[in-house]
Chain A
Amino acid sequence: MHTDRILPLFVKEILEAIRDLRTLFGMIVLPLILFPFLLVGLTAWGLRATPQERGIYRIGIVGESSYLQEALQRNSRFQPQFFRFPIPERQIQRYISLGQLDLVIQIEENFDKHLKENQQASIRLYYDTTSEASYQAFDSFRNWMVDWKTEIVKERIQSFGIEEEVIQPLKMEGVNLATPRKLGGFTLAQFLPFLLIIMALQAAFYPSIDLVVGEKERRTLESLLTTPLTPVEILTGKFLAVSLISLVAVVLNLTGTVLAFQILTRSTPGTPIEFTLSPVTFLWMVIFVLPICMLFSAVFMSLSTLSRSVREAHTYLTPVFVFTVLLAGIGIAPGAHFSRAYVFLPIGSLVLLLKDLLLQQANFIPLIIVLFLHLLLAFLFLRFAAGLLQSEEVLFSPVGFNLQALRKSKPPTALPTLWEVTALFFFLLPLIIWVGSFWAPRSIALALIFTQVGVIFAIPILFLKLLRYNIKETLALHYPGILNLLAGFLVGISGYLLNIFLVFALKGIVPYPQDFEEVMKELLKNLTRGQGLSLLALLPAVCEETLFRGVILSGVRRRFSFLTSVLFIGILFGLFHLPNPLRMITASLLGVLFTGVTLKTGSLFPAIAAHFTVNAISVMATWIEPKWETTIPSAIAFPALLAGVLFFSIAWLLTRSLTTARKTQENGENIATL
């Protein structure tokens, strides 16, 4: 990729985009002027709204009471209107319906007398729950009555010579610690992250259509493709332009909204709220929104590349737009706070984190993880779009793109690409978490079966079937021979022993997965031994090996060396066992061992045997002594390390490569044919 070729394209795209009124509107007018001032206008309108909305109610008082009249005069929220004669209920209903009164108070005949003689005086309140103002007036008057009642009680007990403290033993005083600035941040946090996401989304919408499928429709893309620019460079130039447009919209919206609210607070003195963003917070917000802009640009451009016309692109992009708004909406749902469960929720996770940033409660580690995941997703979409831009079906076929184009013409030995398997992994990871957390509260066993069979096993197989990859070749389903299988079992024993040492060595450094152990123990209690081994040893061995040492390794091994493949798969397998760091480390080690044995033998079965062995020993150990792993003494840990290394060395010596054996056999057959 040559930046000196991408830069002129980027400049051309920006020049073209900013001359388009629709892009300008989405990039400048809407985020900088329209939205902020609409928001502020609505708020200002709210402040100078009807008396009811300001908390001032018109109440009708039927009957006479000098006490009530005097008490009401001390409260400016009620505008009383006195009626000398009784009013029929129908007439009261009419006054409230027409909005002439919000509440009518009927005073009993001897109201003042009863009060004076320390008796109970009663009033009747007429209101209409179907009228918001009437109900609010009723609610407000009822609260005021409580205060008035307290006042009367105070006066009465004083007249009997009793101290107030006797009947009011507790006194409460609330002190609000929120500074005006913090209050401003809190207010902005309720809507600004959502608004920024929408601005980024809408600003990327039109240019991503215009610069890709628009070019296809205007027949200018063909002239670009005949230049020395490669499809990846063309897409990168366009992607940078769309991302920049989206980011500019975000920056302008952020500036516009904060400025508009500042103008509003200055024009209404005495408001106990301050809308100020420090330059550092401003900068961080822009940095955190950038991956979102890139993600939107990449997703929209992929769909735009797929489309045959601008109209078709609108059809594809609009549902994505709506879905994204829903995802962002999760972030501003009342009571939603960032937690681990949200890490894999695209868009929504960033809205929650931006909210935390405005509330000055940001935790930077999840922020970095979420940002990385969004960037990765953007990169995968971009790769996908670049692949499409090289597809003749997409560029020249009147039918356009269809799945058949991806599926066809694959030789029987074709393996999935690195990008395909990485995308598959990051697609499955959140799915596993969601399916697992949905079923776990109902039944741990069901959660295990659904995640293992329904997600980890079924989706990769479906992926291979859909894209017409040869399942046997991809998963390396070759009979390994007795020695390789035996080596697999030995690798399993070695993995278990080495993990014993790891648990011992990391004791006190990383936390022990206590919760996980408890859940497993509880599960095993309710299962027979056969069920326990099937569910916790056999099922993960088959399903997880199909995904990791089968599908993912097939895409990795064609691009990387033996060592890099082993480490890469080891890390992915570790990530799969998040969030407990100890399980992540031990799983990474096992991932390395299982990948090593698969690559060495050229068959998936030894890895399944190894995985089964590790899990089966763990299950059996739980049956014998449930807590033994937490108290491993050094007298066991160090011999376990030595034994683990020894077992692995024996296993390694036993294995023989099936690939070499097959090649030798094929060569033999070729020579025989000649």
Chain B
Amino acid sequence: MLIVENLSKRFGDTEALKRVSFTITEGQVYSLLGPNGAGKTTTLRIVAGLMMPDTGRVLWNGYPNIHHPEVKRQIGYLTADMGLYPRLTPWEYLNSFGRFYGLRGKTLAQKVQEVVNRFEIEEFAHRRCESLSTGMKQRVLLARTLLHDPVLLILDEPTAGLDAITALGFISYIREEKKKGKSILFSTHQLWEAEIISDALGILHCGDLVASGTPSALLSHYGVASLLDLFVKIVEHPDAH
């Protein structure tokens, strides 16, 4: 279980996060929505151990040190603008990252083969990453994220820049992971994605988590029919809530 408690973060004079708290249980997808600059990426970076909060803490299964290598071994982190090593092939890239996560020998070979088959990477597995299309690159990145079988997935706008069909395929992969009982923290600008995948969602506005709960509970609480109406209502009148 992931518990995020009272996270606050300042960048100079800007308050990027104001006491943000939420919880994600096993097999649950929690989506963070919000306009640009709302604090989604900062929240995800803190949870992934890339940043330290000024106050508050992140507990993963009760363990507070998210930076510990053993905790990092259980996390898979992916952002839309993450790059690949242009001079390595997907095969070499996956093998390298597998080793960073402590996989060796037959286990490594088996895991790499598994993700290569699952994300249909085989045909371009030995081509240099610099020659791959955006969709291919995103499949390789997702393969790398899931290679070590993490139990917590942190996905920061993973479908940004993908066409609708590829994005839908991507979402179906995430649903498969959810079925396996993985906890998923997901941020997106695409409300339809959040609608079809989320068990719970939070709306961030100027560093404030102004709404958090299951989609149905939020819709009925705010008296709106769709997630889009909810988003517009909250973002346009944040103080009213």
Contacts and interface: CB of A to CB of B under 8 A. Distances in A.
- Which among A9, A219, A226 has the greatest number of chain B C-beta atoms within 10 A? A226
Given A226-B72, A227-B72, A219 B82 contact: yes
B192 interface: no
Contacts of B99: 5, 8
A228 B73 CA distance: 6
Interface stretch (A391-399, A539-547, A624-632): A391-399
Nearest to A393: B11
Contacts of B82: 219-220, 222-223
Given A226-B48, A397-B11, A218 B97 contact: no
Given A220-B84, A222-B79, A223-B77, A230 B51 contact: no
A229 to B, nearest CB: 6
B100 A16 contact: no
A666 interface: no
B85 interface: yes
Interface string A7-18: 011011001100
Interface string A36-73: 00000000000000000000000000000000000000
Nearest to A234: B100
Contacts of B101: 227-228
A19 B92 CA distance: 13
B116 interface: no
A567 B50 CA distance: 39
A12 B77 CA distance: 20
A16 B51 CA distance: 28
Contact of A396 (B45, B85, B141, B144): B45
A517 interface: no
Nearest to B103: A8
B100 A229 contact: yes
B96 A396 contact: no
Interface in A344-365: none
B87 interface: yes
B102 interface: yes
Contact of A222 (B50, B72, B86, B102): B50
Interface in B57-101: 69-70, 72-73, 75, 77, 79, 81-88, 92, 96-97, 99-101
A312 interface: no
A8 B81 contact: no
A642 interface: no
Contact of A395 (B50, B84, B86): B50
A218 B82 CA distance: 8
Nearest to A17: B87
A16 B50 contact: no
B49 interface: yes
A228 B102 contact: yes
Query: Interface range on chain B: under 10, 10 to 19, 20 to 34, or 35 or more?
Result: 20 to 34
A9 B101 CA distance: 11
B52 interface: yes
Interface in A392-410: 392, 395-397
Contacts of A230: 69
A388 B116 CA distance: 35
A132 interface: no
Contacts of B144: 223
Contacts of B84: 218, 220
B81 A225 contact: no
Given A15-B88, A396-B51, A226 B77 contact: yes
Interface in A203-241: 218-220, 222-230
A228 B70 contact: yes
Nearest to B99: A8
A8 B92 CA distance: 11
Given A19-B87, A20-B87, A220-B83, A228 B96 contact: no
Nearest to B156: A222
A392 B52 contact: yes
A457 to B, nearest CB: 35
A345 B141 CA distance: 48
Contacts of B92: 12, 15
Contacts of B141: 223
Contact of A219 (B11, B45, B48, B81): B81
A628 to B, nearest CB: 62
Contacts of A222: 50, 77, 79, 82
Contacts of B85: 12, 16, 218, 220
B83 A218 contact: yes
A20 B69 CA distance: 31
A229 B141 CA distance: 18
Contacts of A12: 85, 88, 92, 96
Contacts of B86: 218
Contact of A5 (B45, B49, B100): B100
Nearest to B76: A226
Contacts of A218: 83-86
A246 B69 CA distance: 31
Nearest to B128: A19
Contacts of A4: 102
- The winner among B49, B70, B77 for most chain A CB atoms within 10 A is B77
Nearest to A395: B50
Contacts of A5: 69, 99-100, 102
Contact of A226 (B50, B83, B102): B50
Contact of A8 (B50, B72, B79, B100): B100
Contacts of A20: 87
A224 B100 CA distance: 9
A218 B79 CA distance: 13
Residue in B51, B96, B97, B144 whose Cβ sees the most chain A Cβ within 10 Å: B96
Interface of B: 11, 45, 48-52, 69-70, 72-73, 75, 77, 79, 81-88, 92, 96-97, 99-102, 141, 144
- Name the 6 nearest CB pairs between A and B, nearest first: A8-B99, A228-B69, A218-B83, A19-B87, A219-B83, A226-B77
18 contacts: A5-B99, A12-B92, A12-B96, A15-B87, A16-B88, A218-B84, A220-B83, A220-B84, A222-B77, A222-B79, A223-B77, A223-B144, A226-B48, A227-B97, A228-B69, A229-B100, A392-B52, A396-B51
Given A218-B83, A227-B101, 6 more contacts: A15-B87, A19-B87, A219-B83, A222-B50, A223-B141, A227-B72
